[in-house]
Amino acid sequence: MESSSQPSCFNCTFRPDRIFCDMPTEALQAFDAVKSQVTCEKGAVLFAEGRPSRGIYVLCDGRAKLSICSENGKRLMLRIAGPGEVLGLGASMSGTPYEVTAELLDQSQVVFVRRKDLLKFLRDHRDACMMVVQMLSQDLHAAYERVRSIGLTRTRRPRLIRPRVAS
């Protein structure tokens, strides 16, 4: 990882399209003050499943593969995260280890915010806190949909029962 100059989120052309980045002016100024922005190479691991959560990562550009490891050591890719996504949010908010591994698929600009700074930021900026609640809710619903698609996939079509008509 290589540190880059700290460009302001105000100058980001993508900001209006990204839920977490489109904060009110005061909140965005405070976020700029607590973030660190770095350039990471393709293949860099932002965080690993089971490791203590240090904070959140926001993908400014690039993509990250999110995966988990089975008991027998096989890796299962859950999904690909894209620009504007906040990674490690659930673990950072709950103070638990990261649930997944996040590995960059491209060279990327990444913003990092330490957990302690994130919690203080959210206490001070309720609009941003509500954005986090919305993101966590979306993550939960997406997980429900993945379970539904995996666990409830039909193997055959149900037969329709037709009433008998007396002749």
Q: Please report, in tens digits, the pLDDT of each residue of the chain (167 residues total).
A: 544 445 666 666 555 566 666 778 888 888 889 999 999 999 999 999 999 999 999 998 899 999 999 888 899 898 999 998 999 999 999 999 999 999 999 999 999 999 999 999 999 998 888 888 888 888 887 877 877 777 776 555 556 666 666 65
Is this structure's pTM higher than 0.85? no
Q: Does domain 2-150 match CATH 2.60.120.10?
A: yes
For the chain, how far is it from start to end, CA to CA, in angstroms? Answer: 79
Domain boundaries, the chain: 2-150
How many other C-beta atoms lie within 10 A of the C-beta of residue 35? Answer: 21
CA-CA-CA-CA torsion sign (140, 28, 94, 78): positive
Residue 3 pLDDT: 46
Distances (CA, A) of 60 to 83, 132, 156, 160: 5, 17, 43, 50
